[in-house]
Amino acid sequence: MEVVLSGIRPTGNLHLGNYFGAVRNFIKMQEENSCYFFIADYHSLTTHPTPADLHGNIRNVLAEFLATGLDPEKATLYVQSDLPETAELYLLLNMNAYIGELERCTSFKEKIRKHPENVNAGLLTYPTLMAADILLHRAHKVPVGKDQEQHLEMTRTFARRFNRMYNIEFFPEPQAYNFGEELVKVPGLDGSGKMGKSESEGNAIFLVDSPEIIRKKVMRAVSDAGPTEEGQAKTEAVENLFSLLKIMSKPETLAFFEDEYLNCRIRYGDLKKQLAEDIILFTSPIRERILEIRDDNEYLRKVTKMGAEKARESASKTIKEIREIIGISSF
Ligand code: TYM
């Protein structure tokens, strides 16, 4: 049986990008694999959240995991910091992670460009922490969105380096994975780039958003003045709206608006109205479950306790073997 693993940072509520890039795959994969899905709270410390925000967001993401259909009886659902073994493997991997390769990482370069006031060591070694998560359970497949591809490439480098250094086939080389498709990038509503929680206000639609908020956000999405010639290429903003329609709506809805665009008859207001209703149809049942689960402390405690126990079994076994391989064994 293959080991599947993935994580999400608790930096806010889950949005459609998280869902279609990652969580949708978790739900499918939990049926037939040995799955580990976790909340990456150590990772989120690079941006210095307040303790109250961090704790609240761990609760939100956990409730959202459960509300989307992740089943704690099928998959191991846990909080990263409940596994101190993660920190040990992170330390060990850092000994063979080179500054040059870490500095070249696209997400690091992006972060220091956006936040020059907070270039911390955790940010630089973010890929080693992520590799520690993955290698701790010797995972084969890692369902993630397109933005995580390079981190997976680095994880494979660290795994190969360890295997070569100790002359042992210990770590498998994990692959970024999307169930039966290419890796996905869900666009946002602000006319450029991906949907993300740290992008501009209104760019992301969260699973927990109410129908009114969804309508408001979608109606305000960036578009353009409309095509004037038949077959005119789409601007990025309009391309993004069509990509969302492709993900959220029926094929015939997409075909209808494609045709309208082609013939220069398109009314973006109509497209947005339809898109908003299709999103609401999808998110409403999930939203209801989130609101039910979110305040059920006893259930959340039970799930995290069970997840931590199962995850630690696998993690402590790997760490014990690694310690022996590298020469930290007892007399
Ligand atoms: P994070 O929290 O930024 O995002 C969680 C997951 O959601 C995906 N995602 C998207 N996919 C498609 N389109 C989008 N607009 C979009 N926005 C987010 C991300 O690709 C990701 O799969 N470093 C990771 C968390 C992590 C992790 C790991 C993942 C820590 N350790 C080990 C896998 C394995 C992160 O920051 O994800």
CA 153 – ligand 1 centroid, Å: 14
Confidence of residue 1 (pLDDT cuts 50, 70, 90): confident
**One domain for residues 130 and 166:** yes
What pLDDT score was predicted for residue 14? 97
Query: Percent of the chain having pLDDT more than 90?
Result: 94
**One domain for residues 169 and 314:** yes
Full 3-state SS string of the chain: CCEEEEEECCCCCCEHHHHHHHHHHHHHHCCCCEEEEEECHHHHHHHCCCHHHHHHHHHHHHHHHHHHCCCCCCCEEEEHHHCHHHHHHHHHHHCCCCHHHHHCCHHHHHHHHHCCCCCCHHHHCHHHHHHHHHHHCCCCEEECCHHHHHHHHHHHHHHHHHHHHCCCCCCCCCEEECCCCCCCCCECCCCCCECCCCCCCCCCCECCCCHHHHHHHHHCCCCCCCCCCCCCCCCHHHHHHHHHHHHHCCHHHHHHHHHHHHCCCCCHHHHHHHHHHHHHHHHHHHHHHHHHHCCCHHHHHHHHHHHHHHHHHHHHHHHHHHHHHHCCCCC
Q: Which domain holds residue 139?
A: 3-184+297-326
What pLDDT score was predicted for residue 237? 97
Confidence of residue 35 (pLDDT cuts 50, 70, 90): very high
Q: The tokens 């398109």 sit on which residue? A: 266
Question: Range with the lowest mean pLDDT among 43-47, 190-194, 280-284?
Answer: 190-194
Ligand 1 lined by 41 (C-beta under 6 Å): no
Average pLDDT, integer, range 239-253 = 98
**One domain for residues 24 and 120:** yes
Ligand 1 lined by 184 (C-beta under 6 Å): yes
**One domain for residues 160 and 217:** no
Average pLDDT, integer, range 83-94 = 98
**One domain for residues 270 and 305:** no
Protein residue with its CA nearest to atom 4 in ligand 1: 8
CA 91 – ligand 1 centroid, Å: 22
**One domain for residues 309 and 255:** no
Q: Is the residue at 143 inside a domain? A: yes
**One domain for residues 119 and 230:** no
CATH number at residue 305: 3.40.50.620
**One domain for residues 87 and 132:** yes
Ligand 1 lined by 43 (C-beta under 6 Å): yes
Average pLDDT, integer, range 112-129 = 97
**One domain for residues 227 and 281:** yes
Ligand 1 atom closest to Cα of 151?
A: 23
Q: Is the residue at 203 inside a domain? A: no
**One domain for residues 155 and 217:** no
Ligand 1 lined by 6 (C-beta under 6 Å): yes
Computed over every residue of the chain, the mean pLDDT equals 96
User: Has residue 199 got a pLDDT over 70?
Assistant: no
pLDDT in tens, 126-138: 999 999 999 999 9
Q: Is the residue at 84 inside a domain? A: yes
What pLDDT score was predicted for residue 312? 98
**One domain for residues 110 and 247:** no
User: Has residue 180 got a pLDDT over 80?
Assistant: no
CA 148 – ligand 1 centroid, Å: 6
Active site residues: 111, 194, 197
User: Has residue 62 got a pLDDT over 70?
Assistant: yes
Q: Is the residue at 135 inside a domain? A: yes
CA 17 – ligand 1 centroid, Å: 9
**One domain for residues 112 and 228:** no
Q: Is the residue at 206 inside a domain? A: no
Q: Is the residue at 37 inside a domain? A: yes
CA 191 – ligand 1 centroid, Å: 21
The identity of residue 12, as a single letter, is G
Protein residue with its CA nearest to atom 31 in ligand 1: 130
Ligand 1 lined by 132 (C-beta under 6 Å): no
Ligand 1 atom closest to Cα of 129?
A: 31
Ligand 1 lined by 44 (C-beta under 6 Å): no
CATH number at residue 230: 1.10.240.10
User: Has residue 297 got a pLDDT over 80?
Assistant: yes
User: Has residue 2 got a pLDDT over 90?
Assistant: yes
CA 106 – ligand 1 centroid, Å: 14
Q: Is the residue at 331 inside a domain? A: no
Ligand 1 lined by 10 (C-beta under 6 Å): no
What pLDDT score was predicted for residue 214? 98
User: Has residue 181 got a pLDDT over 70?
Assistant: yes
pLDDT in tens, 267-292: 999 999 999 999 999 999 999 999 99
Ligand 1 lined by 186 (C-beta under 6 Å): yes
Q: Is the residue at 199 inside a domain? A: no
Domain count along the chain: 2
Q: What global pTM score does this model have?
A: 0.95
